[in-house]
Structure 1
Amino acid sequence: MFSLKGKRALVVGIANDQSIAWGCAQAFRRQGADLAVTYLNAKAEPHVRPLAEKLGAEIVAPLDVTEDNEMDAVFEAIETRWGKLDILLHSIAYCPKDDLHGRVIDCSRDGFATAMDISVHSYLRMIRRAEPLMPHGGTCMTVSFYGSEKVVDHYNIMGPVKAALESVTRYAAAELGPKRISVHALSPGPLATRAASGIDHFDALMAANAARTPSRHLASIEDIGAYAAFLASNEATNVTGGIHPIDGGYHIVG
């Protein structure tokens, strides 16, 4: 089977042990990768640092993606300690509550700009910083959702935001392909994560999806982590630009 031994991975987006990023971090480490893990702020640190230490993360640092100095510090720490980066996982999204719960056409200018900046442009900012640390190639991944291409009740403005995220994934993959840097978007079905808890009626959405999914059960963070680990491996070097459904087959149901 594939191995990530000798590879270095930056994992951004762990909030707790239910996070997609946590499932990916475990899978990366299980396959042999060394880890750098970030947490949002001092309030989040007590929830994230013990998880990072459990996996023996060599770098644990704060990262609010709206603060350029914090992002610079993370990548400087990686360059100083490792001199390279092989894997980047971006698993963050945010929209102000009032805009998230309202109609798409009622989304405020500031709310839309905030959602796009944190959920989409931060991925590009990370890729740009990762690029010089991947002289021999690497893998960049983000996390999307089915609501990017189909209207999902109560997903609201995050649908267009995730559509933008998927589009920048394709363009970045085309631009970085000659450097053997692959770029992906993982697209799991609904999961009971902290981020998802902010969406109205999310429990009902999960139940409806499970009932219609060919496998009859929703994806887990372990499923997503396993897929992400494969994409980060040498065996997947020639795979790039994809939006990868990890949803028990829900995306094929009409």
Structure 2
Amino acid sequence: MPPRRRTDGGLPRWVLLPAGLAVLLVAGPVAGLLLRVPWTRFPALLASDASVDALLLSLRTSAAATAIVVVVGVPLALVLARVDLPGRRVLRTIVLLPLVLPPVVSGLALLTTLGRRGLLGARLEMLGIDIAFSTTAVVIAQAFVSLPFLVISLEGAVRTAGHRYEDVAATLGARPTTVLRRVTLPLLLPALGSGTALAFARSLGEFGATLTFAGSLQGVTRTLPLEIYLQRETDPDAAVALSVVLIAVAAVMVIATQRGARGDR
């Protein structure tokens, strides 16, 4: 008779208690929010001009920020994982800083660099280019805070995958660009999908850096998190309804990252 498969993973049973408390720590507030939603008025609460503008703006800017993150983040992750650069640890630390910086500090860093009186912003203004407090500023702020999520996800996958398939392709005469396009990137697709979903979710939920660097102008810079914050004071039911929308989109992104992780294995 074959041995019965253990469902506890070989762990002591007491581990289930703190694990359950951890689940309650996250699930409890989310459940409380869902129970607070006035479902009978839900469509009407989302139909206001301010809510629609905030939702559409968030989706557009998050998509744009994610595209930027993918274009620059994939090469950066490959460089950090494969190229033996001097000062690579320092470079990695700089890239991952937005993970631990308070969002307001991130916004101030962007403002002092790209604002009208900033290091680069003053020179750009002389050319007629204003970035701060514009939709472009929203995209830059979202890209700034979400880039590390893609880089850290992809860099780990690159290191785990190794480079034996690339070595074989190079031995057969494939050029580096061909190896990257036909071998490396297909191997990294699950991790790339996971990192992209994380970057999009982080962009969608960005608040502090966006408010500091881009402000809050309806239809221009007021994203969904900013609209939720404002509605919290004037119409709490609308704030709760918009929060549910944000949770739903975030849940879809989390499911996408889990699928990517399974594909990685």
TM-score (norm 2): 0.28
TM-score (norm 1): 0.28
Specify which structure has the higher proportion of strand: 1
Q: Which structure is richer in relative contact order (CA contacts within 8 A, separation 6 or more)?
A: 2
Larger Rg: 2
